Amino acid sequence: MSMKLAIITDIHGNAPALQAALADIEREGVDHLYCLGDLIAIGPNTNEVLDMLFYRGDIAFVKGNHDEAVLSIIQGKGPLPGHEHARSHHEWVASQLDKSFIPKLMELPQMLEVDVFGKNFLFVHYHLKSDGQIKRIDPDPSGEKLDTMYDGTPYDVVCFGHHHPVHHFQTNKRLYLNPGALGCHHQPYARYGIVEVHQNRQVTVQLKEIPYDNTDFIASFERLQVPQREFILKVFYGVE
């Protein structure tokens, strides 16, 4: 007997990528999903993504910085600190957001701690400072660095996102997994991870890349006049 967990993160308003990943998750017979934040912003499919996820009964969420940034605009607080450069984009996303989703977004926690067959999991958008703010991205993470960061914590498995590349480190102390951004990739692949916990407490990881057609998704940035689209398409999707 085992428990299969699908780990998705950084969907960033990309409905076709999410649809492809969810179809594969169904085929895999996963028991539960964990979404590590940044459901919205960057991509334009805000309501489609939230509709696909919020009505599922088999998923738990944490909040990402882009989710918080859009909520900050909606609440009249202005740009989230450190996100002033994306103000026009986040204002556009906020204007497109179906207001019925706001309460659900606002109640998303910053982190989740879960016990699976005696293994202690931490699910978080990214590593947190003592004041609860996310740390600056480490462009060159390692298991050794992460062991130092999480020294003294009870976690056996730490799952995170925010930094869009894949990271998978197994040390003598714990497992660290970032399955990579599901919705932001220079190639049309939706990435996610499967963590399987067996009754003997063994943990195995699969890293998945699911191809999908992103043609209409890329074209929609111009069609919808998404603010900052030239920068977004170049940096996050490799479109010159």
| Sign (positive or negative) of CA dihedral 122, 107, 161, 132 | negative
Look up the pTM and report it: 0.97
* Residue 166 covered by a domain: no
* Residue 91 covered by a domain: yes
pLDDT, one tens digit per residue, over 41-59 is: 999 999 999 999 999 999 9
* Residue 49 covered by a domain: yes
Q: Is 124 helix (H, G, I), strand (E, B) or coil?
A: strand
Place of tokens 């931490």: 122
What is the predicted pLDDT for the residue at 190? 99
Instruction: State both tokens at 103.
Output: 């309460």
Report whether 83 contacts 69 (CB < 8 A): yes
* Residue 232 covered by a domain: yes
pLDDT, mean of residues 67-80: 96
pLDDT tier, 240 (very low <50, low <70, confident <90, very high otherwise): confident
Domain carrying residue 223: 2-110+177-237
Report whether 161 contacts 199 (CB < 8 A): no
pLDDT, one tens digit per residue, over 129-187 is: 999 899 999 999 999 999 999 999 999 999 999 999 999 999 999 999 999 999 999 99
Report whether 47 contacts 54 (CB < 8 A): no
pLDDT, mean of residues 22-26: 99
Structural domains in the chain (count)? 1
pLDDT tier, 86 (very low <50, low <70, confident <90, very high otherwise): very high
Number of other CB atoms surrounding residue 49 within 10 Å: 24
Name the amino acid, one letter, at 220: S
CATH assignment of the domain containing 186? 3.60.21.10
* Residue 103 covered by a domain: yes
Name the amino acid, one letter, at 166: V
